[in-house]
């Protein structure tokens, strides 16, 4: 037996190592950005999604000069409600701008947050394309109706008349889009619809250091199909087949929605009255060189099944659109399973409960920072049944520290004997050296869920706490909370019993707090606040358990003075109850030998 059967350091520091694992996965694998503001247009001309295998008829391409002339002459029309201001063009009826209202969504210049990140006509969000109908690339739609709540455009040609209608929906951040296609031809025809959206991210914005929060610009294409949610980032959507570099990832049938999503915002298109036939997702490198492109263009497409339209008949394709912050309640009102665009990680079933608790607490308190503190306190209370055995076991190990030090000194050059002596010490005092690991393992899903909730929650986006903490979704500007957390980690290390030698113990004492501080420097203030509160509560619980165990040990070691008589009486009773010893027999004298 050797000392490897003692509890490993990794198990003792499981929460810290778990945080390191999360950071490694999030910040080594996916790209990250340092800015929250949307970026501009794609820098290079590129073929439309239809050229990558789509069955839609392609319009004739127009020259860059003609494209610029069209953009300069376009007319824009707006729809506005309490949530946003949306603008649409008469070139192809697509969305050219969507600015989210609210002081929380202002950028550093004080301007509203802009969701549309492209300005090339073919890459505007919610651009239509048709199968069975050819609409020229230079077509311009005629405005039929315009009001503050409704827009209607019409185009006629190729034997059909098409009317697109945009309407504001009642809940926030919602729109309705409908296409009515009337067959003016003398023969039947099959017509299908595709709605394409694009989102551009500069590669320079994606780059950053190893440590930090999830980038607000980190983007995904998302497709909801039945019970499945397909969420793919840039690397996953880039084609790995050099012979077919432009093939999109397709899913279907039974598609509930398709979305372009950043950490805090999303543009979602969902079919109304049923499901769509297919969703396509694609990412392509743009500009620069092959090895160092300037940026990435994300594209998603919602494809409806073709409908057979007889002469003089019409078919209607309806789409519900959500464009705005990834607010859980608003997405639930939108329906179509769209709340799944919020990425809550591996333990989403726990994270949803944590998010609900956080929102509920905030509804009574009105301050997200205080809500995080109260949520942390509630979680620690709920975990008490698991934490108490852990602290009791640590208190027993702490009481045995002098004997552990003697064993380490006595057998410092003999690992096998030291391990055997340690195990005998645990057995003699009925201490399980791994007794504190199971509670920690049980807490890990909650830790992961809270981490994901606090890192991506739109509720914390630009939400103030107190003093200089004006944005719980961004790092602490003066690094106060990370430094406090490092100090609390140092105290926890001092309180935690270790079975390693002095050199290893010193490394753990100083290295772990420094590492934790380093990890937290660029993480969201809300997450730092949770970690600081949790550590402070943990130290308080640990100190209380040590005090309680010391009191119990002292009570057993000493007896009260007024119990001496009772002890004497008990001793007499014990003596009386003990069996009496038989006296040795004396030999009888005889007269034999006497005169």
- For every residue of 521-590, DSSP letters joined together read TTS-HHHHHHHHHHHHHHHHHHHHHHHHHHHHHHHHH---GGGHHHHHHHHHHHHHHSPPPPPPPPPPP-
Beta-bridge partner residues of 165: 152, 178
| Residue-level pLDDT at 402 | 74
| Between 385 and 391, residue with greater pLDDT | 385
Question: Structural domain boundaries of the chain?
Answer: 3-20+360-555, 31-343
Over residues 517-535, the mean pLDDT reads 84
222 - beta bridge partners? 231, 259
At residue 32's C-alpha, the angle toward residues 368 and 97, to 5°, is 75
545-581: pLDDT as tens digits: 767 766 666 665 555 554 444 444 444 443 444 444 4
Least confident of 365-369, 404-408, 534-538: 404-408
d(C-alpha 334, C-alpha 510), whole Å: 50
Using the 8-state DSSP alphabet, how is residue 106 labeled? B
pLDDT at 394: 67
Predicted local confidence at residue 207, as pLDDT: 56
Say how many residues make up the chain.
595
Instruction: Taking residues 417-440, report their average pLDDT.
Output: 70
Answer whether residue 285 shows pLDDT above 90. no
Strand 84-89 versus strand 76-80 pairing type: antiparallel
Q: What local confidence, expressed as pLDDT, does residue 438 receive?
A: 60
Taking every pair of Cα atoms in the chain, the longest distance, rounded to a whole number of angstroms, is 164
Q: Does domain 31-343 have CATH number 2.70.98.90?
A: yes
Give residue-wise pLDDT tens across range 180-215: 999 998 899 999 999 999 999 887 666 544 455 567
Q: Determine contact, residues 314/181, Cβ cutoff 8 Å.
A: yes
Determine the average pLDDT of the residues in 259-269. Answer: 92
Checking if the pLDDT of 441 tops 80, the result is no
pLDDT in tens, 321-352: 999 999 988 999 998 989 899 988 777 778 88
Phi-psi region for residue 467, left (φ > 0), alpha (ψ -120 to 50) or beta?
Answer: left
| Cβ-contact 92, 127 below 8 angstroms | yes
Cα–Cα–Cα angle for 12, 18, 23, rounded to 5 degrees: 145
Q: How far is CA 104 from the centre of its chain?
A: 20
Kindly report, residue by residue over 24-34, the tens digit of the pLDDT: 444 444 333 33
Distance CA 125, CA 94 (A): 6
* Per-residue confidence (pLDDT) for residue 324, from 0 to 100: 92
Structure tokens at 391: 């602290």
Q: Measure the CA–CA gap between 178 and 167, rounded to whole angstroms.
A: 9
The whole-number average pLDDT for the span 99-124 is 87
How far is CA 374 from its chain centroid? 20
DSSP 416-478: HHHHHHHHHHHHHTT--TTTTHHHHHHHHHHHHHHHHHHHH-GGGTT---STT---TTS--TT
How far is Cα 331 from Cα 335, in angstroms, rounded to an integer? 6
Mean pLDDT for 211-237 is: 82
- First vs last Cα of the chain: how many Å apart? 81
Q: Ranked by mean pLDDT, which of 52-61, 71-80, 241-250, 412-421 comes out on top?
A: 71-80
pLDDT of 503: 65
453 close to 354: Cβ distance less than 8 angstroms: yes
pLDDT (0 to 100) of residue 323 = 94
Q: How confident is the model at residue 291 (pLDDT cuts 50, 70, 90)?
A: confident
Residue 85 has pLDDT above 80, yes or no: yes
| Structural tokens at position 66 | 């003609």
Does residue 102 have a pLDDT over 60? Answer: yes
pLDDT at 586: 52
Sequence-ordered alpha helix ranges (H) in 61-183: 64-73
Specify which of 6-20, 65-79, 174-188 reaches the highest per-range mean pLDDT.
Answer: 174-188
Q: Over 50: is that where the pLDDT of 3 sits?
A: no
Distances from the Cα of 103 to the Cαs of 100, 227, 456, 462, in angstroms? 9, 36, 19, 9
Look at residue 505 in the predicted model and tell me its pLDDT. 65
Confidence band, pLDDT 50/70/90 cuts, at residue 5:
very low
Residue 253 contacts residue 314 (beta carbons within 8 Å)? no
Q: Which helix (H) or strand (E) holds 372?
A: helix 368-382
Residue pair 324/338 in contact (Cβ under 8 Å)? The answer is: no
- Is the pLDDT reported for residue 529 higher than 70? yes
Cα(416)–Cα(6) distance, integer angstroms = 12
d(CA 395, CA 128): 68
pLDDT of residue 455: 76
Return the number of other C-beta atoms located less than 10 Å from residue 381's C-beta. 12
- The model's pLDDT over 354-383, given as tens digits with 9 standing for 90+, comes to 888 888 999 998 899 999 999 989 988 887
Most confident of 393-397, 451-455, 488-492, 565-569: 488-492
pLDDT value of position 555: 63
Name the least confident of 40-44, 249-253, 393-397.
40-44
Mean pLDDT, the chain, rounded, equals 77
């Amino acid at each position: 037996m050797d000392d490897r059967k003692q509890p490993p350091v990794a198990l003792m520091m499981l929460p810290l190592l778990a945080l390191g694992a999360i950071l490694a996965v999030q910040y080594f694998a996916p790209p990250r950005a340092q800015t929250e503001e949307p970026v501009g247009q794609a820098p290079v001309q590129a073929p439309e999604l239809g050229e990558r295998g789509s069955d839609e008829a392609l319009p004739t391409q127009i020259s860059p000069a003609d494209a610029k002339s069209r953009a300069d002459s376009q007319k824009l029309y707006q729809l506005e409600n309490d949530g946003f201001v949306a603008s649409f063009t008469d070139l192809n009826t697509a969305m050219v701008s969507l600015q989210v209202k609210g002081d929380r969504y202002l950028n550093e210049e004080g301007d509203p947050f802009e969701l549309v990140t492209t300005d090339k006509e073919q890459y505007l969000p919610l651009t239509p394309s048709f199968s069975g109908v050819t609409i020229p690339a230079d077509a311009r739609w005629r405005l039929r109706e315009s009001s503050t709540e409704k827009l209607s455009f019409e185009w006629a040609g190729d034997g059909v008349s098409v009317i697109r209608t945009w309407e504001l929906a009642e809940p926030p951040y919602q729109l309705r889009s409908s296409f009515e296609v009337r067959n003016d031809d003398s023969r039947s025809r099959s017509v299908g619809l595709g709605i394409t959206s694009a989102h551009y991210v500069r590669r320079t914005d994606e780059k950053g250091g190893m440590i930090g929060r999830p980038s607000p610009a980190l983007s995904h294409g998302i497709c909801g199909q039945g019970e499945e949610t397909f969420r793919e980032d840039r690397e996953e959507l880039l084609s790995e087949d050099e012979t077919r570099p432009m093939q999109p990832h397709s899913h279907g049938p039974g598609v509930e929605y398709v979305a372009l999503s950043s950490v805090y915002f999303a543009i979602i298109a969902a079919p109304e009255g049923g499901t769509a036939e297919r969703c396509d997702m694609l990412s392509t490198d743009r500009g620069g060189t092959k090895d160092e492109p300037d940026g990435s263009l994300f594209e998603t497409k919602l494809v409806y099944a073709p409908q057979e339209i007889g002469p003089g008949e019409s078919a209607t394709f309806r789409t519900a659109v959500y464009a705005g912050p990834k607010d859980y309640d608003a997405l639930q009102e939108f329906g179509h399973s769209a709340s799944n665009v919020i990425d809550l990680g591996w333990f989403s079933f726990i994270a949803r409960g944590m998010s609900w608790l956080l929102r509920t607490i905030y509804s009574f308190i009105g301050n997200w920072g205080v809500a995080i503190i109260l949520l942390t306190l509630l979680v620690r209370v709920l975990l008490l049944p698991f934490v108490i055995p852990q602290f009791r076991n640590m208190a027993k190990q702490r009481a045995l520290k002098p004997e552990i030090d003697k064993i380490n000194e006595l057998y410092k050059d003999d690992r096998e004997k030291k391990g055997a002596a340690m195990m005998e010490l645990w057995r003699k005092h009925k201490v399980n050296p791994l007794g504190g690991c199971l509670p920690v393992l049980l807490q890990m899903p909650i830790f992961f869920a809270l981490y994901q909730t606090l890192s991506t929650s739109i509720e914390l986006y630009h939400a103030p706490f107190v003093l200089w903490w004006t944005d719980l979704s961004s790092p602490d500007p003066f690094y106060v909370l990370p430094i406090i957390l490092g100090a609390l980690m140092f105290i926890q290390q001092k309180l935690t019993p270790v079975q390693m030698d002095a050199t290893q113990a010193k490394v753990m004492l100083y290295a772990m707090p420094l590492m934790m501080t380093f990890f937290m420097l660029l993480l969201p203030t809300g997450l730092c606040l949770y970690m600081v509160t949790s550590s402070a509560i943990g130290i308080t619980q640990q100190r209380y358990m040590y005090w309680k165990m010391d009191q119990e040990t002292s009570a057993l070691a000493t007896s009260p003075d007024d119990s001496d008589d009772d002890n004497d009486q008990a001793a007499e009773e014990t003596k009386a109850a003990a069996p009496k010893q038989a006296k040795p027999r004396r030999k009888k004298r005889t007269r034999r030998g006497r005169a």
